[in-house]
Amino acid sequence: MVDTPFMREFGVREEDTVKRVKFEINPAQPVNTEVKLTLPANDLTISPASSVFQDDEFTIQDNLDQTKQLKFETGGISSGNTRTLISPNLNGTIALTSQLPDIEQADFVPTFSNNSRLTANPTVVKAYYKRIEEEVECTVQLTIPYDGTAAPAIWDTQMTLPFAFSSTQTVNKLVCHGTFNSGTAGGIVNGVIPNGQPFFALNGVFMSVSANAGNYDAFFTVKYFRTVS
């Protein structure tokens, strides 16, 4: 047959006249438009339309720069499973796990030294930290064994924390606050952190109205920047 641009439709058949292929222009095609079908320089098998694609045959290209491409890989899915990704009803950018902030959270066990006016080391009720990148926040609750010296009296101890402080650490970067009270006793918790050291100089003021020995509770949070090696 001869290719002619004026043929509305045409058919192809084998010698077996039952086997036929018919080509036809889509009636929905706009008037005065031309659609060209270019065949590759090799054998071609036309398959019925399908909504399933092999992941190595599906590529998305940028509309302006075709060297920018995106491919999908399903090899990590367990055999026999179909996974569905559901988009939230928001615009946004897909984040990679490697882009997430470095976060760590756990309990820790502080140790104590250089006690003053304490009959023993403080007892740790709870102590835990949360670290996001280089910033560390520690929350500590202690039982303070006071020696009963007449108030007001200052006690102090040195407590280790999970990470060494940044060598550029200053007191201005430290956030330390807390409560200290039990019965008729009360006071405040303060602290100082030496540069480049993993310990926290903690002290409080006993404000008891009488010289009663006993245990008192201290609860505080300290925030600082850790040293990164």
Q: What is the pLDDT of residues 97-107, one digit of tens each?
A: 888 889 999 99
Kindly report the CATH number assigned to the domain that includes residue 146. Answer: 2.60.90
**Tokens representing residue 64 in the block:** 């302006």
* Confidence grade of residue 77 (pLDDT, cut at 50, 70, 90): very high
Q: How much is the pLDDT for 197?
A: 63
The verdict on residue 115 lying in a domain is yes
Domain count, the chain: 1
CB 126 within 8 A of CB 140: yes
Taking 80 as the threshold, does the pLDDT of residue 195 lie above it? no
The verdict on residue 77 lying in a domain is no
The verdict on residue 76 lying in a domain is no
Q: How much is the pLDDT for 69?
A: 94
The verdict on residue 36 lying in a domain is no
- For 192, the domain range is 104-225
d(CA 74, CA 102): 28
Lowest mean pLDDT among 66-70, 114-118, 200-204: 200-204
Strands (E), the chain: 9-13, 20-24, 59-61, 69-71, 103-107, 112-116, 123-132, 135-146, 153-160, 175-182, 185-187, 189-192, 199-206, 214-225
The verdict on residue 61 lying in a domain is no
Higher pLDDT: 227 or 208? It is 227
d(CA 119, CA 144): 9
**Matching residue, tokens 């060297």:** 67
**Matching residue, tokens 């520690």:** 138
d(CA 73, CA 144): 58
Sheet with strand 103-107: strands edge to edge: 103-107, 123-132, 135-146, 214-225, 175-182, 185-187
What are 22's strand-pairing partners?
11
CB 36 within 8 A of CB 42: no
Q: How much is the pLDDT for 41?
A: 79
User: ∠133-138-139 over CA atoms, to 5°?
Assistant: 145
Cα four-point dihedral sign 162, 141, 145, 193: positive
